[in-house]
Homo-oligomer: A and B are copies of this chain.
Amino acid sequence: FDYDGPSMKTTVPGPRSQLFVLLLNFVFSQNVGAVNFFCNYEESRGNYLVDVDGNRMLDVYTQISSIPIGYNHPALLKLMTNPNNLSTFVNRPALGILPPENFPDKLTESLLSIAPSGMSRVQTMACGSCSNENAYKAMFIWYRNKERGQSGPSAEDISSCMVNQGPGCPDLSILSFTGAFHGRTLGCLATTHSKVIHKLDVPSFDWPIAPFPRLQYPLEEFSRENAQEEARCLEEVEDLIVKWRQKGKPVAGIVIEPIQAEGGDNHASADFFIRLRRIAAKHGCAFHVDEVQTGGGCTGKFWAHEHWGSDDPADIVSFSKKLLTGGYYHKEPYRIFNTWMGDPSKNLFLCEVLNVIRRENLLEEVARSGKALINGLYELQAQYPGLLSRARGQGTFCAIDVRDDATRDKILVKTRDKGVILGGCGDRSIRFRPALVFKEYHVHLFLNIFNDVLTQF
């Protein structure tokens, strides 16, 4: 089913892609600054993305990590041709008030079958941003309920909230980390600190931001230094919680990614997360693990937090991207609602994706490919010590740093012209985000091409 390798006809973007960009830009006045090239999704297959100039590229970026089992997987195509499924696509229900008959079944088969340890409730949402926004709201409501105890909201709570004022709209905060990315809507954005361009000119909340550990890689070789750095960050977290409480803006929740993705693929140890969770509990803050980018199998386990080995990893776990639907797992019911509450047609796809993951043992495959990938990256950074450094990863969720951002960008373009799509992240990292069907064979194919490119630098 997969193609047997890249096949390049032009540089990328080729002439047809360039034409389409002009068209969008001038004729339709669209803002197309971020467009890389135009794709032919019909012809794309498995790990290969085909563009409108007929270039076929090995995709190690997969639409910012959101294609779980490759392009046009036969199982998903088959699902589309099943007439019983048609109405799910054609009639999008307001899931919170008028769910379809098969909703409980589909939930059991899909999201509940992969629920994180200790969590039996799930709330579906449509994307990563509304998943996190609503998870934050859930934490605020939980915190205020706890504060109020038995008594319900006061008359003052009720009247003040309608005009955006306290105590009804309380001065609560969410603690996030430097380098974090949790989305771009205003609530999420107040916890996002990965790039200036995301934040500039947008009003925000005065919420505490703790340092995310800056570790040295490979982690095993620097365990003493790294443990010190993590201890420093944890201390800062506690300080900030106390400080913000004194400021009158108590921390209702802490949000963190198991691996900071957009911020440059920053890892931390299991011990760090487990201690952080304990600090949250000690100070009465909810603990929210954002698995929007790490969830879905790419780390070799279904959830990245499974690597921590804790049976009570979090109070809230949010997801999207590779899971096709967004949402979050939680422990308590809250009054969260919107029109669509997700999209059952995405649930249908997710069921099938999970079937494929199980049937084809894709988590084991990812562990295997991941090992080959990280070992290959170690070798390359040994071979090009001035150019590459800090190779790191879990499963195929890997990254490596380049000398500087200009060189990084050049490498990305040259690699693409040789038929491999990679992504950048952080200041000067390259990130690898293949689909779960990226096999050892693809790793070697990629490493050969990458090596060819690197020799030119």
Contacts and interface: CB of A to CB of B under 8 A. Distances in A.
Interface of A: 20, 23-24, 27-31, 33-42, 44, 49, 52, 63-64, 66-67, 71-73, 76-77, 80-81, 84, 86-94, 96-101, 103-104, 107-108, 112, 120-123, 126-130, 133-134, 136-137, 140-141, 143-145, 153, 157-158, 161-165, 168-173, 183-188, 190, 193, 196-197, 199-207, 209, 321, 324, 333-340, 345, 349
A205 B165 CA distance: 8
Contacts of A39: 93, 98-101
10 contacts: A31-B334, A33-B333, A39-B93, A41-B91, A72-B90, A126-B126, A134-B185, A163-B209, A164-B206, A187-B187
Contacts of A108: 28
Contacts of A100: 38-41
A192 B220 CA distance: 50
A171 B202 CA distance: 8
Q: Which 7 A-B pairs have the closest CB atoms?
A: A186-B187, A31-B333, A169-B204, A164-B204, A144-B201, A133-B185, A63-B94
A120 B29 contact: yes
Q: What is the copy number of this chain in the assembly?
A: 2
A5 B337 CA distance: 31
Contact of A127 (B30, B186, B338): B338
Contacts of A84: 42
B127 A126 contact: yes
Contacts of A137: 184, 186, 201-202
Contact of A36 (B97, B165, B168, B193): B97
Contact of A80 (B90, B103, B107, B338): B90
Contacts of A120: 28-29
Nearest to A346: B92
A134 B130 CA distance: 13
A105 B336 CA distance: 38
B130 A127 contact: yes
Given A80-B89, A87-B42, A140-B201, A96 B35 contact: yes
B184 A185 contact: no
B92 A203 contact: no
A168 B41 contact: no
Contacts of A141: 200-202
B335 A184 contact: no
Residue picked from A120, A137, A143, most chain B C-beta under 10 Å: A137
Contacts of A338: 127, 129, 183-184
Given A80-B80, A127-B340, A164-B204, A107 B28 contact: yes
Contact of A163 (B40, B80, B193): B193
Contacts of A20: 99, 101, 103-104
Contact of A158 (B122, B172, B196): B196
A290 B84 CA distance: 36
Contact of A96 (B34, B77, B92, B172): B34
Given A31-B123, A72-B90, A141-B200, 13 more contacts: A24-B104, A28-B121, A34-B337, A38-B98, A41-B91, A63-B92, A64-B339, A71-B90, A127-B339, A137-B202, A163-B209, A165-B206, A169-B201
Contacts of A170: 201, 203
A202 B33 contact: no
Contacts of A205: 164, 203
A97 B52 contact: no
